[in-house]
Structure 1
């Protein structure tokens, strides 16, 4: 049997895992909700939930990957007790990775598109209405959406085709290094703008009164949600990297390093956004509007804005691409764990991802008449809803139960694997918390996500039924294929 590929260095593992965790939400959501709920006051709350919520589940994903030496497509089969059905978890994990890439490739394409637009001066000497119209025109163009989605997918799969060490690890190291350098350059530019100090005060000075004014309960849920979703836990996206590392280091310490890097990038993004917005008298919005409209207008007004805008969208492209490469590697490993060569897995999944990504790319134009979650929603909103509001929290809950239940892999096996090697150990005293309290917190996030998404409790029923139906068909097909192969 061919030996499993391994990272060439600990740094490679940390940077690639952090690259998977670092996503666009670090830029277009974290700074906004930080400003909304009292600046540094919210950051303190966020760090607490990152430690008690995201960190232990990440350590569990890494442990399952390292102990099984498989991706989530096979890890539960290897570790589950005989005659149990824990391996069924893999179907939601596999679906989660594919669904994530079905819309993330389109958004990553937007970033690359705008990087070129900025570099070639598309926004030079145009007003704010024209900047806003440029974003709307991009969304309305099937060609632009599909072309840049294909380009970002080609880049991602080409890197993965070169192998773990020579492709994924090497390129991710360079991209994460450049990402930090670009961010630091942009921070220096932002904090030296006129009136930038007011933006820094708004972002960095703790304002507990503002937190209470906007609702302490809302702040708690926002901190819990950001701490949970920022790490991409629950669909096995992290477990694969656990299978690529040795036993030299304990996994809680490595998880902590990744959480620190992820938080640092989100925090630095705020140091770019708030001074820039305050300097030019615009409100820091959230979501795509912040990146493609608000900040594009800011760069348009800024001296040397063409350069700074190009660097910003290059940074955003790297943030998107590191996640895309990491998830592509996970998807490729599903096939490789079933005996496929890397080349065959890359070609098959490249074609499959392009086909699966078309609904999202066309959902803003040709298929814009489809509003799955109500008026003014798109196919991308629905795909994001399935992943973020369903598969991530429910998947995390299953990982938790598998690692803590005596009917699953069990606490002792998890603790032994997590604590193997040098570094920070997972405390045994947290067993009660991990077994009984943490699952309740995850369930709360799941339920609260529905409450936030829909106006009334009875509106939950239709989306849940739709999600169940959509997931049932491909998962049942996959299960039937696996059953047929065993006969």
Structure 2
């Protein structure tokens, strides 16, 4: 059976897919919550610092590692250890960790995507606007497993179908539609909210800096976690998307675009949610996922046009959830293809079937499941990929791969910054996450 590797049809197709994979619930429910909890620009400054560090090292590294080896984590890690020690066995064994981590995170994310589809449907009949606090949320979603099952299956069916069509005809085309629509819808919401009384109080809260707040270590810790998880460095999704790149792609430039648009998506979410709270006369220091799932619908019920805003908002959120879910399932799907020489359809259906069955089982404990994935598995995968590329692979090889198709090579800052600072930051994310019970 042919195992010819698929590829992106265009540069922007790849960039939009990477942006779609990075833009997810971390941008939409967690970033505004962190901005809200830690005082706007006080949180934004350290966040942007960490985005620059991670985007200019880790994101570039994973993209280049994937392209260099034309493989997912198992093949890439194997190539690294073979280059250094003459055997690919230890690398292939370690490569299974980020692949399984991607699958585990995808399964948990499929449950959350089901919530979002259900929320979108409930937005059309106004049910969401009428819920009261946590009890209303539980009644809408968690009262019985069957409440969310149909919507969970809808999300999985769409994801599997897109995966079956492959990279150029499936993932790329889906992201060319959903990722721009996400931004268009959020920009529209932000512009509308600007016209409402009291919205400017929300903008003032976002951008006014309290210098004393920068002395709080937790502000820096959670800014690091937000940037790290938002940019999707986990040794799987970005690496596997990079493996479909051609040699004429300028990876540092592409990574910069992904970081910029990922940050823009987070800011747009904040520019919608926090001004909406201000318009409704609510406190601006709310936090947690409830900010989006519980508090926001109650806020919108008192805003002119709130019914329409809610539909548009959750339509945009649905696009963000699907593009992230597709990316998470791609690594295990491609790995199954590589290991067993399966067709794209067979691999996508097998991985999708596993995702459906396990997703139904873990739905009641999805919060704990996702906490374990984000606290331990994702940082471990990112650390392994970084060590394999920047420590195990030879320096000349690394610089050659990241500088392909560039007229001017990256400065001498890149290699030590990636090898020491990024790897160190990734280790810090893992340790602090374990100590604090998660930071992203």
- Partners of 1:230 and 1:422 lie apart in 2 by 26
Q: Deviations over 1:82-134 (max 9, x none)?
A: 1252222211111111110121001111111111111122246x4x62x6433
- Partners of 1:189 and 1:132 lie apart in 2 by 28
Partner of 2:202: 199
1:14 Cα deviation from its structure 2 partner: 0.3
1:148 Cα deviation from its structure 2 partner: 1.1
**What is the correspondence of 1:176-255 to structure 2 with a 5 Å cutoff?**
176-209=179-212, 211-212=213-214, 215-255=215-255
- Partners of 1:134 and 1:382 lie apart in 2 by 21
Partner of 1:427: 411
2:386 pairs with 1:393: no
**What is the correspondence of 1:337-376 to structure 2 with a 5 Å cutoff?**
337-338=338-339, 339-361=341-363, 363=364
Could you say if the C-alpha distance between residues 426 and 397 of structure 1 is closer, same or farther in structure 2, counting changes exceeding 3 Å?
Answer: farther
Q: Deviations over 1:206-247 (max 9, x none)?
A: 2223x14xx521111111111111112123111111111111
1:57 Cα deviation from its structure 2 partner: 1.0
- Partners of 1:427 and 1:156 lie apart in 2 by 40
Normalised to the residue count of structure 1, the TM-score between the two structures is: 0.84
- Partners of 2:246 and 2:415 lie apart in 1 by 25
Could you say if the C-alpha distance between residues 394 and 350 of structure 1 is closer, same or farther in structure 2, counting changes exceeding 3 Å?
Answer: closer
- Partners of 2:426 and 2:348 lie apart in 1 by 34
- Partners of 1:122 and 1:344 lie apart in 2 by 39
Q: Pick from 101, 105, 108: which aligns with 1:103?
A: 108
**What is the correspondence of 1:7-156 to structure 2 with a 5 Å cutoff?**
7-81=8-82, 82-83=86-87, 85-123=90-128, 126=130, 129=132, 132-137=134-139, 138-156=141-159
> 1:419, 1:426 within 8 Å by CA — same for their partners in 2?
yes
Normalised to the residue count of structure 2, the TM-score between the two structures is: 0.93
- Partners of 2:294 and 2:418 lie apart in 1 by 42
Could you say if the C-alpha distance between residues 425 and 251 of structure 1 is closer, same or farther in structure 2, counting changes exceeding 3 Å?
Answer: farther
**SS in structure 2 opposite 1:238?**
helix
1:141 Cα deviation from its structure 2 partner: 2.2
**What is the correspondence of 1:240-279 to structure 2 with a 5 Å cutoff?**
240-279=240-279
1:449 Cα deviation from its structure 2 partner: 1.3
With a CA cutoff of 8 Å and minimum separation of 6, indicate the structure with the bigger relative contact order.
2
The CA RMSD measured in Å over matched residues stands at 1.9
- Partners of 2:25 and 2:278 lie apart in 1 by 22
- Partners of 2:362 and 2:377 lie apart in 1 by 18
2:178 pairs with 1:175: yes
Could you say if the C-alpha distance between residues 163 and 279 of structure 1 is closer, same or farther in structure 2, counting changes exceeding 3 Å?
Answer: same
Q: Pick from 379, 382, 393: which aligns with 2:368?
A: 382
- Partners of 2:43 and 2:36 lie apart in 1 by 8
Could you say if the C-alpha distance between residues 102 and 203 of structure 1 is closer, same or farther in structure 2, counting changes exceeding 3 Å?
Answer: same
Partner of 1:469: none
**Superposition misfits of 4+ residues, deviation over 6 angstroms:** none
The count of corresponding residues between Structure 1 and Structure 2 is 430
> 1:105, 1:152 within 8 Å by CA — same for their partners in 2?
yes
Partner of 1:462: none
> 2:399, 2:415 within 8 Å by CA — same for their partners in 1?
no
> 1:186, 1:312 within 8 Å by CA — same for their partners in 2?
yes
> 1:20, 1:326 within 8 Å by CA — same for their partners in 2?
yes
> 2:46, 2:220 within 8 Å by CA — same for their partners in 1?
yes
- Partners of 2:409 and 2:278 lie apart in 1 by 43
> 1:402, 1:410 within 8 Å by CA — same for their partners in 2?
no
- Partners of 2:102 and 2:433 lie apart in 1 by 20
1:330 Cα deviation from its structure 2 partner: 2.2
Q: Which consecutive unaligned segments of at least 5 residues does structure 2 have?
A: none
Q: Deviations over 1:404-441 (max 9, x none)?
A: 22xx2222211101110136743333333333333232
Q: Deviations over 1:232-289 (max 9, x none)?
A: 2123111111111111132122111101110000011111011100111223533331
- Partners of 2:409 and 2:295 lie apart in 1 by 44
